[in-house]
Amino acid sequence: MPHEKLPSIIVFDVNETLLDITTLEPLFVRIFGDRRILREWFAQLILYSQTMTLSGIYSPFGELGVGALRMVANIHQINVGNADIAELKKRMSTMPAHPDVAPALTRFRDAGFRLVTLTNSASGASPTPLENAGLSYFFERNFSVDAVGRFKPAPETYGLVAQEFAAKPADLCLVACHLWDTIGAQAAGCHGAFITRSGNAMLPASGVPIPDFIAPELVTLADQIIGRQ
């Protein structure tokens, strides 16, 4: 059932939603000879981050990312060296923004929304990935699940943002290109806004909550949300 109250705080996922992870493809082409292994690696990373949370265990997302790369390499019987790990870390920290991001964030900001990020990645030293991508000035706060020791879509992660703003979950709208993220946000009482970027789609199964907003890219999504004000 749609929310009666419209959100005032827009909470953005970062990796793939704002920053373009396809810029990691050259690493996977070089190591595996197949850019599609990027998706296999990312899926394993998300799977095991959620497994850790369900098991009551926590390890920083970056460490899981390195471990997932080594695991996928073992599956494919390929050796991964320290130079490969260093390149992964460098590429992860310097991913550019998708072209639609800055125009959409400008629309949201000009419409009076408060803008924050919520990422599975641990907080790091400056320059952060958002700073490197030229996006940091758009956001009032940047939240990491590291603060609660649980990964999205655990309800505590979305609750962290609501608590810090002394807001109700219905005041928040989680924007992500991952349906599992919008499902978690909606289950926690937030609005969910889904961007159907390449490699992501709806899950046609009973019981799966339909996001409050759905669009192929972020500018159209911004116009939908602003139009509901």
Q: Show the domains of the chain with their CATH numbers.
A: 9-19+95-227 (3.40.50.1000), 21-93 (1.10.150.240)
- State the first-to-last Cα distance of the chain, in angstroms, to the nearest integer: 18
pTM: 0.95
Nearest Cα to 18, choosing from 113, 165, 114, 121?
121
Helix (H) or strand (E) holding 208: none
What confidence tier does 7 reach under pLDDT thresholds 50, 70, 90? very high
Instruction: For residues 139 and 97, give the distance between their C-alpha atoms in angstroms, rounded to a whole number.
Output: 14
According to DSSP H, which parts of the chain are helical? 25-32, 37-54, 61-75, 82-93, 101-110, 129-132, 155-164, 179-187, 218-227
Mean pLDDT estimate for the chain: 96
Residues 47-71 pLDDT 10s:
999 999 999 999 999 999 999 999 9
Question: Is the per-residue pLDDT at 2 higher than 80?
Answer: no
Question: Is the per-residue pLDDT at 127 higher than 50?
Answer: yes
